[in-house]
Structure 1
Amino acid sequence: MPGVAHLAELARVDYQAGYRAALKRLPDLDWSALAGFARDGFDLHK
């Protein structure tokens, strides 16, 4: 069974990769929809 430190390192690397991928995709996001979503208080049940 892998140690906790090993799992934490895997999670950290995976998180960083996901974060970088998200940053690359930022221009593709629909900012007006995102702003409306935030303004509505993240109400998913509209």
Structure 2
Amino acid sequence: MDQENSKINELLKITQSSIEALENYRQALITAAVTGKIDVRKVVEP
């Protein structure tokens, strides 16, 4: 049981780290769009 708890805790740490990285990427993308560093007018239509 301790071994399984350790695996779960490690997965939680990895997941949290991924969430933080994605949040940082999202903020950087928003900043780049707002400051004009990327052109968001070129929207691909489905």
Bin of the TM-score, shorter chain as denominator length: 0.5 to 0.7
What fraction of aligned residue pairs are identical, expressed as a percent? 5
Q: Distance in 2 between matches of 1:8 and 1:25?
A: 26
User: 2:30 aligned with 1:8, yes or no?
Assistant: no
Structure 2: which 5+ runs fail to align?
Answer: 1-6
The answer for the alignment partner of 2:4 in structure 1 is none
Runs of 4+, deviation exceeding 3 Å: none
Number of residues paired by the alignment? Answer: 37
Report the TM-score when normalising by structure 1.
0.61
User: 2:30 aligned with 1:30, yes or no?
Assistant: no
Structure 1: which 5+ runs fail to align?
Answer: 42-46
* Aligned counterpart in structure 1 of residue 28 of structure 2, from 6, 21, 34: 21
